[in-house]
Amino acid sequence: MSNAKDDTEVETEAKPELYRPTPMELLVSSILEKRAFVSVPVEDFPPATRSGNVAAQRQAAEELVKLESRYAEYLKSAAVAAIIRAETPALAQQFLEGATEESEDPPVVLDASEMYVRIANAVAPAVGDSRQFSAGKVGMAIDEMAAIGRELSLTSLAAPRWQYDVMVPTFADLVDVIRTAVRASTDGDELNRLYLRSRAYKRALDLGYVSAIVPVMVTGATPEETPMLTDKLFTASTVIDVTSAKGVTRETVLSALKAMVKAAKARRS
């Protein structure tokens, strides 16, 4: 009896199955590729091909708008907002760190005040030693709001209810004055909702999210803003209370993450 192999036997190595990117992964890859190309300074292109590359950049920029719009639509159906009601900023930060550790991918993090902080940053250099929020500073705040409106493709904005010659001893006071005035307008909370959504889209894309659930955690909301953000920021949401009495433990973080998954499932049902 021979130990030799039969001539008909052929040894073959199992070929690894090729990974096929999902449509969302291809979309994100295309967006990042076009973003990189569009951002190349004109002077970096060789003179001989510069005009052609500039024309290609314009075309890529137009395509990028459409691709990012598709990604925004995806995020509307995938995002789950968790409004973090924490007793202190330190507790909120501790919770976010715990959520990042327990999540496969880091959550998208927003601060409900970031639009107002942006406007305040545009005004702050002019406040000076007087610490007075006067008519001239109001004009600067309006200019920054107009810039935000253009970014969000809004054709008009309702006028905030400004208070003039208000003292703002600290930057936080300046933010509060602006926040109060903008929220008092008919567009106030809606403008902030649109702004936060736009930030969520950008950060989710930066993180490369393509999954069925995208966790979006929002800190810094006032009690008056919380109902609006819970109901309207995205179509699925939950409110998470972080207190010093309960503290931030692995169990409380996991419980909150499960609540977000439950909210996502409720949306699909």
Here the tokens at position 245 are: 């009495």
pLDDT at 234: 92
Q: For 147-207, what is the HEC assignment? A: HHHHHCCCCCCCCCCCCCCEECCCHHHHHHHHHHHHHCCCCHHHHHHHHHHHHHHHHHHHC
pLDDT at 130: 85
Are 196 and 189 contacting, i.e. CB atoms less than 8 angstroms apart?
no
Q: For 193-248, what is the HEC assignment? A: HHHHHHHHHHHHHHCCCCCCCEEEEEECCCCCCHHHHHHHCCCCEEEEEECCCCCC
Reported as a single tens digit per residue, the pLDDT across 22-64 is: 888 999 999 999 999 999 999 999 999 999 999 999 999 999 9
Reported as a single tens digit per residue, the pLDDT across 102-152 is: 988 899 999 999 999 999 999 999 988 889 898 889 999 999 999 999 999
Report CA-CA distances (Å) from 144 to 12, 13, 117, 242: 66, 63, 11, 33
pLDDT at 21: 83
7 pLDDT exceeds 70?
no
17 pLDDT exceeds 50?
yes
Q: In what order do the strands lie in the sheet with 79-86?
A: 108-111, 214-219, 79-86, 237-242
> What pTM was estimated for this model as a whole?
0.84
* Residue 134: partners with Cβ closer than 8 Å, 6 or more residues away: 164, 165
For residue 142, which of 129, 133, 131, 132 has the smallest C-alpha distance? 133
For residue 199, which of 216, 179, 224 has the smallest C-alpha distance? 216
- Residues written for the chain: 269
pLDDT at 20: 79
Q: What is the mean pLDDT of the chain?
A: 90
Question: Residue for token digits 């009690």?
Answer: 223
Question: Residue for token digits 């330190």?
Answer: 90
pLDDT at 165: 86
